[in-house]
Amino acid sequence: MSEYSDTMSMGTSVIDFYMASTLCITSPKNPYDLDDLPITSLDDKRVAIGWDTRTWSRFHHIWLRDHCRCPTCLHPKTMQRLLNTFEIPPDIRPIMVESSLKGLRVVWPAHEHSEHGEHESVYSWEWLKENSYDPTIEPEDKGTKKILWNARISQSPPTISYNDVLKPGEEGEQALCKWLTNIETFGFSFITDVPPNAASTESLVRKISFIRETHYGGFWEFTSNLAKGDTAYTNIALGAHTDNTYFTDPCGLQLFHLLEHSASESSSSTTYTSTTYPNTKFPNLYASSASPTSNDTQITSSTNSPNASSSSSVFTPSSLSSPATQGADATVSSSSYPASSAPNSSLGGQTLLIDGFYVASILRSLYPSVYRLLSEIRIPAHAAGERDSAGIFSTGEGYTVLSHNASGELIQVRWNNDDRSVLSSISPSLVEEFYTALRTFHSLLTTPDSEFLIQLTPGTAVIVDNHRVLHGRTAFVGNRRMCGAYIGKDEWKAKLRGLREKYEVRINGH
């Protein structure tokens, strides 16, 4: 069983979650009162705090002095340290410590080598508990639990309306907070009612944060004209992948909004000329979507293309309705886009989404040695298509497919077989095991259980956590125009943290 909450069990648990996240506000923390304040004691090195008869925390004197929260030691607006850490005597010891309603009150001795007199610090009980290091104390609400999902997510995908996020003031901020909470929980979200144009889509993205500019530009529009040296700018199928595996820090979020897909080949999109290969590699790929016409030429793309077998249903958000949306169901009305640009699945170009954390949790359970190998072997990647302008991006010896935090929790899936470079730093004894591991991972990625295939339509965008959810696309014909942008992981996490802090403070009334 994965270390996350249960995988997606469609039904009340999901609805309960949506209702709980309707507002991005958690219940107020219960403050202490005079007759149940934590008890404190100190020795020559540390202050001890008794939270209850079984739970104690110990803080070193020098640590407490270095972390004083007063406005002369910590800038009240920027939260940057003003205190000179290196003036604190290594053997500093409080004159007095006491428990107060506001928290732990400490008085420090005057500093013999400076004009500073005695100094008083007050540390809120909540802050001390959150930052206890001896021992660490699990927070009551462990933040957003990740809900892992598979193809059945199509029954009730996380969704929000553009109209809610773009509302002015607190209403819009609360919708934004819920949107980002859903992304943190599920790793993706649909956004309905998006006016089918680049400008509105860009405004939506910028509600989260500034856009991550790359060699593809800032806010991008793309079609199959090789305007940039990448196969995304062709009409071939792209197997399940995360973007930017050739960057030290792959983008955190990636938004896609299909603006147009029509049968006619517009002047801006040319079919990519190359030797025509039989479609033996993707026997299923064209079953439910476009087969290249005789005058189309196709290059073979990666072998990990979407398993869009004729049996797999293509989910079209236009029938989308979800409890997560505010108010009425968010069905995408036909007025969202003129019929002329409405895509139909015979043209191909379906979008593939896969919860990499879901697949990794199955891999960890069923194939622990494969999971370990993909967590240890570094895989180099490159982007060389813009070598004459941006140069050649490369991650040198590379990064592992699966990355973990200090607690051993999975925090990133980094995978793109097309962009994978020459593996020249692998131990010879591991080569065959490595390819077996890749095949095993690929086989779990490309099952109908894992693959959520959707037909995007103008008016409904999708955003993915690029550190968790893999995406791809089936091959297509015709004129297809997609727009979107990248946002850094730090940026969107910071935005969500700020929104939560603001509303929690508002609710707790301080």
Ligand X SMILES: C[N+](C)(C)CCCC[C@H](N)C(=O)O
Ligand Y SMILES: O=C(O)CCC(=O)C(=O)O
Binding site for ligand X (CB under 6 A): 216, 220, 222, 230, 232, 241, 243-244, 416, 419
Q: Of 351 and 416, which has the nearer Cβ to ligand X?
A: 416
From residue 278, how far is each of 237, 275, 285, 383 by CA, in Å?
Answer: 14, 10, 12, 27
In the complex with ligand Y, which residue's Cβ is closer, 471 or 500? 471
Residue 241 or 261 having the CB closest to ligand X: 241
What 3-state DSSP class applies to 282? coil
**Binding residue (CB under 6 A) for ligand Y from 67, 473, 481, 495:** 473
CB-based contact 92:65 (threshold 8 Å): yes
Minimum distance, C-beta of residue 496 to ligand X, in the bound complex (Å): 23
Q: Considering only residues 14, 147, 238, 410, which one is a binding residue for ligand Y as defined by CB under 6 A?
A: 238
SS3 assignment, position 99: strand
CB of 354 to ligand X, least distance (A): 14
Q: Least separation, in Å, of the C-beta of 293 and ligand X?
A: 24
Minimal distance, residue 375 CB to ligand X, in Å: 21
Which long-range CB contacts under 8 A does 53-60 form with residues at least 24 apart?
55/137, 57/128, 57/129, 57/132, 57/134, 57/135, 57/137, 58/134, 59/128, 59/132, 59/133, 59/134
- DSSP one-letter code for 59: E
The answer to whether 470 contacts ligand Y (rule: CB under 6 A) is: no
| One residue of 228, 471, 495, 500 binding ligand Y per CB under 6 A | 471
Out of ligand X, ligand Y, none, what residue 419 binds, judged by CB under 5 to 8 A for its kind, is ligand X
Q: In the complex, what is the shortest distance from the CB of residue 421 to ligand Y, in angstroms, rounded to a whole number?
A: 17
Bridge-partner residues for 472, per DSSP? Answer: 352
Dist. CA 286–CA 127, nearest whole Å: 57
471: partner contacted, choices ligand Y, ligand X, none (Cβ within 5-8 A by kind)? ligand Y
CB-nearer residue toward ligand X: 284 or 395 = 395
* Backbone dihedral region for residue 348 (phi beyond 0: left; psi -120 to 50: alpha; all else: beta): left
C-beta atoms surrounding 163 within 10 Å: 18
Choose the one of ligand X, ligand Y, none that binds residue 216, judging by a C-beta under 5 to 8 angstroms depending on kind: ligand X
**Distance of closest approach, residue 65 Cβ to ligand X, in angstroms:** 47
**Residue 217, Ramachandran bin (φ over 0: left; ψ between -120 and 50: alpha; else beta):** left
Rounded Cα distance between 37 and 332, Å, is 55
Burial 170-183 (b: 16+ CB within 10 A, else e): eeebbbbbbbbbbb
Which of ligand X, ligand Y, none binds 244 (CB below 5-8 Å, type-dependent)? ligand X
Q: Which does 351 bind (CB under 5 to 8 A by kind): ligand Y, ligand X, none?
A: ligand Y
Q: Which does 473 bind (CB under 5 to 8 A by kind): ligand X, ligand Y, none?
A: ligand Y
Which strands make up the sheet holding 452-454, listed edge to edge? 238-241, 469-473, 351-355, 452-454
Binding positions for ligand Y, 322-361, rule CB under 6 A? 351
The interface partner of residue 416, options being ligand X, ligand Y, none and the CB cut-off 5 to 8 Å by kind, is: ligand X
Smallest separation (angstroms) from ligand X to the CB of 462: 13
Tell me which of ligand Y, ligand X, none is bound by residue 220, counting a contact when its beta carbon lies within the kind-specific cut-off of 5 to 8 angstroms: ligand X
Residue 223's binding partner out of ligand X, ligand Y, none, with CB under 5 to 8 Å set by partner kind? none
- For residue 452, the cross-strand partners are 353
Query: Which residue in the set 290, 330, 359, 482 belongs to the binding site for ligand Y (CB under 6 A)?
Result: 482
Helices and strands (DSSP H and E) totals, the chain = 10, 20
Nearest distance in Å: CB 374, ligand Y: 21
Lookup: tokens for 139: 């927070």
Distance in angstroms (rounded) separating the CA atoms of residues 359 and 356: 5
**Is the peptide bond between 168 and the residue preceding it cis, with omega within 30 degrees of 0?**
no
- Shortest reach from residue 210's CB to ligand X, in Å: 16
SS3 state at 202: helix
Q: Which is nearer to ligand Y, 121 or 302 (CB)?
A: 302
Closest-CA residue to 385 (of 210, 222, 202, 249): 222
Stretch that binds ligand Y, among 29-37, 165-173, 187-195, 469-477 (CB under 6 A): 469-477
The alpha carbons of the chain give a radius of gyration, in whole angstroms, of: 27
Output the smallest distance, CB 190 to ligand X, in A: 18
Binding mask 245-284 for ligand Y (x = CB under 6 A): -----------x----------------------------
User: Which residue in the set 211, 232, 308, 469 belongs to the binding site for ligand Y (CB under 6 A)?
Assistant: 232
Q: Which residues bind ligand Y (CB under 6 A)?
A: 232, 238, 243, 256, 351, 471-473, 482
